[in-house]
């Protein structure tokens, strides 16, 4: 019997707990809290300058960044922009000293002219004086050959040859 009273007692306590919790929940939900008025400091309106500033840390990056380089190396002769200047596509930013390139261009043009003249001379065929000069050169070489052969047959050459 005692266990029955204890079970009834525990059931009654549990029912009271559930009923109390449901009542508290309903009270919180359906009866709003009273609104407390905020304290306000009244100030007279006056004309003046409004200044607003924002201080922040971070890094700023532009919309596009490009790495630039010249096609050839050299000494910079002119710089047309400064760091931070806005630039447009196709704008000349700097110039290299081109004196070495101008000299090389002049030499190349001279070589082309010389080669063109030689080509025209070869196309025209040999001149009579060139043929005569070549014949004289061949005759001179033939005479020197004979002269060397005649020394070879002489007694001095035989002594030198035997030593």
- Convert the pLDDT of each residue in 73-84 to its tens digit: 778 888 888 888
Length of the chain: 163
C-beta separation of 94 from 78 below 8 A: yes
Q: Match 């931070």 to its residue by tokens.
A: 84
CA dist 41 to 38, 113, 119, Å?
A: 10, 95, 103
State phi, psi for 78 to the nearest 5 degrees. -155, 135
Work out the end-to-end distance of the chain between its first and last CA atoms, rounded to an integer number of angstroms: 153
Lowest mean pLDDT of 11-25, 109-123, 147-161, name the range. 147-161
Tell me how far apart the 2 most distant CA atoms of the chain are, in Å: 162
C-beta separation of 72 from 100 below 8 A: no
CA dist 129 to 21, 136, 155, Å?
A: 132, 10, 41
What is the value of pTM for the model shown?
A: 0.36
Q: Match 């196309």 to its residue by tokens.
A: 123
What integer pLDDT is reported at residue 17 of this predicted model? 95
What integer pLDDT is reported at residue 163 of this predicted model? 47
């Amino acid at each position: 019997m005692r266990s029955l009273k204890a079970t009834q007692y525990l059931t009654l306590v549990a029912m009271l707990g559930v009923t109390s919790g449901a009542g508290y929940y309903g009270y919180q939900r359906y009866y709003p809290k009273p609104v407390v008025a905020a304290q306000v400091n009244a100030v007279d309106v006056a004309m003046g300058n409004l200044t607003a500033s924002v201080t922040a840390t971070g890094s700023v990056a532009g919309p596009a960044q490009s790495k630039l380089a010249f096609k050839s190396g050299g000494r910079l002769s002119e710089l047309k922009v400064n760091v931070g200047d806005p630039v447009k596509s196709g704008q000349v930013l700097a110039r290299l000293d081109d004196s070495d390139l101008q000299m090389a261009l002049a030499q190349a043009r001279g070589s082309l002219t010389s080669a063109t003249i030689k080509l025209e001379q070869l196309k025209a065929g040999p001149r009579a004086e060139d043929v005569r000069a070549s014949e004289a050169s061949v005759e001179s070489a033939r005479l020197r050959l004979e002269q060397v052969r005649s020394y070879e047959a002489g007694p001095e050459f035989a002594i030198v040859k035997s030593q």
